[in-house]
Structure 1
Amino acid sequence: MTETDPIVEAIFDAVAVTAPEIRAALPGRRVESGTDNPSGESVMAGDLYADELLADALTAVDGVGSFVSEEREAAVDAGGGVGEDAYAVAIDPLDGSSNLRSNNAMGTVVGVYDAPLPATGRDLVAAGYVLYGPITTMIVADDDGVREEVVEGDGDGGVSRSVVEDDLRLPEDPLVYGFGGRVPDWPDDFTAYAREIEDELKLRYGGAMVGDVNQVLTYGGIFAYPALVDAPDGKLRLSFEANPIAYIVEKAGGAASNGETDILDVESEGVHDRIPLYVGNEALVERLEDALANE
């Protein structure tokens, strides 16, 4: 394992420890909880369970000053403030939880900021995600690059983290694409771009951003959840989803954009702000920006 910030390593240790527990609890939590999150979306029972588990684990880490979740209106003060000696951790506890009913992939997204939220992606010191696929894997990105690990529980409450790729890079020859949103809701300029891409790449879209982005990291290509006619600000949250994923993809040699500028440069007004997200191989993202600019 590459040498890294001890607080960051402790954060991902805590995330890894929760992963088998979250996964094991999902079969009994495939129903709606009867509550909405701060973005007005219906919350699954699995969302709430993962959120509580991660909150307990991460606020106990020495060096975490605050815990901010997609499922919570405000940050949880973990003590010590946020700054040089403490980080703010932003979590999407169960990305793609709508896939619970159909038993498709989902994950947990993590952003480690050295500034109080809301902040820009330039304030990230690390980011990662857990993918609950056929096996449980964790992607971790920091100044040293991007690595992929397999996370396994030992049955006694312990967890092992085995590095399977210590320098993950996007393949130069892209193979796949995945675009979210209903096609009738796509703006005309994005639709025209999509028609070009579908003639060049293979469709891989599963309805969970983590799974779809992982396809892009593995095979090269582009993932997008565009601005929509009825949702011009997009669907994904900047602090919990777009910034961490942009950080990971850029550290892996790719690019990330909101259609006009680098995601990591976007100023945020609130922790639950939404934004369009386009990530993948640099040439494909640049083509997209050109297409949108020519509207």
Structure 2
Amino acid sequence: MDSIFQAITNISKIIENKVFTNYDEFVILDDLNQTNQDILQYCNEVAKKEFKAIDGVNSIVMQDDKKIEVLNKKGQYIISFIAIDTIDLLDLDFSVGTIFGVYDGKIEGNNLVASCYVTYGPTFQLVYATKDLGVKFYSFDGKAFIEKESFKLENKGKINSTDGDVTTFSASHKKLIQKLFDEGYRLRLSNSLSLDTHQILFKRGGLYSSPKTLKDPEGKKDFVFEAYPISFIVQLAGGEAIDGQNNILDLKIDGNIAKKTPLYFGSKYEIEKVKAFEC
């Protein structure tokens, strides 16, 4: 796994330098969509090049096309990759991130062996998790990623990060959110899953929720690219991640790479609240 971690740090440094520091080089005036597509293509090519150099990596699948591309036929691991988490925020100069998942042999939650997210912007930081190492937190010092004190979620937090349009929420979800506000929780939401995850981990607790709605009855988060990798990190940090009732990592996609889910994660206290309200 050392070579995979090294590839992740290489990819992250290239994206930070080429995309965030030199964003204007990608800009096509009056065509934000093409600008974003060019950035995604560039990042995807960088990732494919780095992972292809690792014999143990079999293939990679990108969120933007959801097609598995074989890199090394004899490889063992499948990489899921979100180049820019919520790319629509990029031109607004907001902090965004990158998300990686590393699956052993088959893409299912319980086959994850490592996952990672990276935050760009004012803070260039990386959170990497494996079953053996637990959750590791790194901050870039201008030359290299330096390991810092790791995260461990407390039993109860103070942050409420609720994603979505409140007008589409179910009555039960509205009651859950109001209950948290009544208990003094603060609303914090960036609309970037990696940044919202980072905030809950950094503050040692809270709740992130992306519920099913009338518009999205199956939920909005991709299992493969978002729910599985983030849930893996949160659980290793001492928290929980569910679809409302069930452990995210236990749920199956049965080969459907595009399958979506509601997603709730955070401290154990908040997850018990979710189970009580979202039954």
Q: TM-score, normalised by structure 1?
A: 0.85
Which of the numbers 146, 150, 158 marks the counterpart of 2:139? 150
- State the Cα deviation string for residues 45-101 of structure 1 (Å, max 9, x = none): 43333222222222222311101110124111111345xxx2101011110211113
Partner of 1:51: 44
Paired-residue identity, %: 25
* 5+ residue gaps, structure 2: none
Equivalent residue letter for 1:24: T
1:23–1:133 CA distance, 2 compared to 1 (3 A): same
Equivalent residue letter for 1:191: K
Is 1:211 aligned with 2:195? yes
C-alpha distance in 1, partners of 2:267/2:101?
Answer: 21
Partner of 2:94: 104
Q: After TM superposition, what 4+ stretches of structure 1 lie above 6 angstroms from structure 2?
A: none
Alignment of 1:22-61 (within 5 A): 22-29=19-26, 32-34=32-34, 44-61=37-54
Shift of 1:33: 3.3
Specify the SS of the correspondent of 2:278: helix
Which of the numbers 67, 76, 85 marks the counterpart of 1:74? 67
Further displaced range: 72-81 or 262-271: 72-81
Partner of 1:94: 84
Q: Number of residue pairs matched?
A: 271
Shift of 1:12: 2.9
C-alpha distance in 2, partners of 1:206/1:59?
Answer: 33
C-alpha distance in 1, partners of 2:207/2:68?
Answer: 32
Shift of 1:131: 0.4
Equivalent residue letter for 1:59: K
Which of the numbers 118, 121, 133 marks the counterpart of 2:121? 133
Shift of 1:7: 4.0
1:33–1:52 CA distance, 2 compared to 1 (3 A): farther
Equivalent residue letter for 1:89: I
Contact 2:264 2:271 (C-alpha < 8 Å) held by counterparts: yes
* 5+ residue gaps, structure 1: 36-42, 155-159
User: More helix by proportion, 1 or 2?
Assistant: 2
Is 1:273 aligned with 2:256? no
Question: What's the Cα RMSD here?
Answer: 2.0
Further displaced range: 139-148 or 167-176: 167-176
Contact 2:55 2:72 (C-alpha < 8 Å) held by counterparts: no
Partner of 2:169: 186
C-alpha distance in 2, partners of 1:249/1:128?
Answer: 11
Partner of 1:286: 272
Is 1:9 aligned with 2:9? no
Shift of 1:163: 0.5
C-alpha distance in 1, partners of 2:271/2:41?
Answer: 34
Equivalent residue letter for 2:208: F
Specify the SS of the correspondent of 1:198: helix
C-alpha distance in 2, partners of 1:282/1:252?
Answer: 11
- State the Cα deviation string for residues 161-180 of structure 1 (Å, max 9, x = none): 10012x32113441211111
Equivalent residue letter for 1:187: S
Partner of 2:146: 162
- State the Cα deviation string for residues 226-284 of structure 1 (Å, max 9, x = none): 11111011111110011000000000000000112000011003112111110100120
Shift of 1:10: 3.5
